[in-house]
Structure 1
């Protein structure tokens, strides 16, 4: 029995403590929520500003005040009449990002699965994968291009740039899958194996559905990190440039709201992809 049960003021003291704890929790939640909103506004305000300026009129500039409101620069972007055709670099960036996302996903899941076995040399393997994050992007791209030149390999967006992008995105996907597998209960797999399932069947029917949110996360990491990568693409893409290189090249020539339009369009597409992924995960969880 609680020694304070016979003391008349004990219940009132306990209620006051609970009330104080709830009040502190609410204040902490409001403070952290406010700081989060301020940080998000600080992060997204420049993008929102560019999005507004992308709807300038035909004679509009790249700064405020806006000269009219229209979709003129989006039409120019599609017709490629002012700054050149952005559609080929956009297509290359999209295909490269998709290939990088799929490769990153497969290698991340396989590497994280291997790390669960604690094989000999797993520590060296772990830090070897993380080298993609530690090394500066410009040095990686320049060094890889120099190596290709020594070996007589021609740089191209779908070969050399693809390999460099995978080396950049793989550590993020790998760390994501490690975090997912650290919360995974291995007894679920052991139960399936005990009941006669093969390792592939146990992975496909038990493991993969549980870690599916992490797998989708690695896909998003691979796509987003490859799609807007500039530093590692500068020396490894070759003659057929990707979208980030095309945008940066245009900044040295002429700055028009058309650049804002392409930035707004790609940002909107990324947000739609994230919302679609979130909706898919929500439906899977409901099932």
Structure 2
């Protein structure tokens, strides 16, 4: 076996430190969330139990994790559906050049480069001018779509750029209408990519803080609720919430992955 150069060990050590820096804080939160009832926010641990995981579902001294989670879940699902639908329609439209397509493209992705806090402030002002009260759903939906739709749009452009139009031509030659061609030919082929877009859109919405910070109204989404509790909740319940939400995110990724694998295999059959 040839001797490895010194640079290999240097890069391996650097990569190990990178992984530790990336996942070390998360691991620390997981460990501290499994303390006993007398646990604190710092090491060393005081016992081992699942006590604080259960406390997440109880009423806190200030705020409520369960209600905030439900709001984030509902908002994330609605944002996912809208972003996916808009991205598909935009992807179909951009398959052919049309007048003003360049302007529409740059306007769509412009919100990605504008500071998030300005987006939140602008939406808040727009709602104030129109007399519509801001709340976690209506104004939050607008704020999250400015973040999720551009990403979904860019991904779908890449999907349709690789799409073979001969499948649609063959379908039309056999007498199928445009709508039937889409639902029976195009949609099944882009469905695995659409699942990935939906998963990304849900994650971006579920974790979004800055764009919702000024327009949530009296009821917070989960990221805002966590931020508000950092100065009031002095127990490992906050760490337990981080553990549970991470497990929830991993479950969503697993569902998305296996769904992608399932529909990809169906395409090959």
Aligned length: 260
Contact 1:173–1:217 (8 Å) recurs in 2: no
TM-aligned CA deviation for residue 245 of structure 1 = 0.9
Cα RMSD after superposing both structures: 2.3
- Is 2:104 the counterpart of 1:158? no
CA distance in 2, matches of 1:184, 1:38: 41
The corresponding residue for 1:16 is: none
TM-aligned CA deviation for residue 274 of structure 1 = 0.8
Contact 1:76–1:82 (8 Å) recurs in 2: no
CA distance in 2, matches of 1:226, 1:76: 25
Trace 1:1-287 onto structure 2 (pairs within 5 A).
39-287=18-266
TM-aligned CA deviation for residue 151 of structure 1 = 2.1
The corresponding residue for 2:6 is: none
Higher gyration radius (CA): 1
- Which stretches of structure 1, 4 residues or more, deviate above 6 A after TM superposition? 30-38
Q: Deviations over 1:7-58 (max 9, x none)?
A: xxxxxxxxxxxxxxxx9xxxxxx99999877655532222122111111111
Change (3 A) 1:33 1:112: farther
Contact 2:196–2:260 (8 Å) recurs in 1: no
TM-aligned CA deviation for residue 68 of structure 1 = 0.8
CA distance in 1, matches of 2:95, 2:18: 36
Change (3 A) 1:202 1:34: farther
TM-aligned CA deviation for residue 277 of structure 1 = 1.5
Contact 1:51–1:260 (8 Å) recurs in 2: yes
CA distance in 2, matches of 1:244, 1:66: 26
TM-aligned CA deviation for residue 215 of structure 1 = 0.7
CA distance in 2, matches of 1:191, 1:37: 52
Change (3 A) 1:219 1:87: same
CA distance in 2, matches of 1:104, 1:135: 19
Q: Deviations over 1:228-260 (max 9, x none)?
A: 111111111111111111110111223321111
TM-aligned CA deviation for residue 90 of structure 1 = 1.0
| TM norm structure 2 | 0.89
SS, match of residue 211 in structure 2: coil
TM-aligned CA deviation for residue 157 of structure 1 = 1.2
Which 5+ residue runs of structure 1 have no aligned equivalent?
1-22, 24-29
Change (3 A) 1:155 1:183: same
| TM norm structure 1 | 0.84
CA distance in 1, matches of 2:143, 2:237: 29
CA distance in 1, matches of 2:35, 2:63: 19
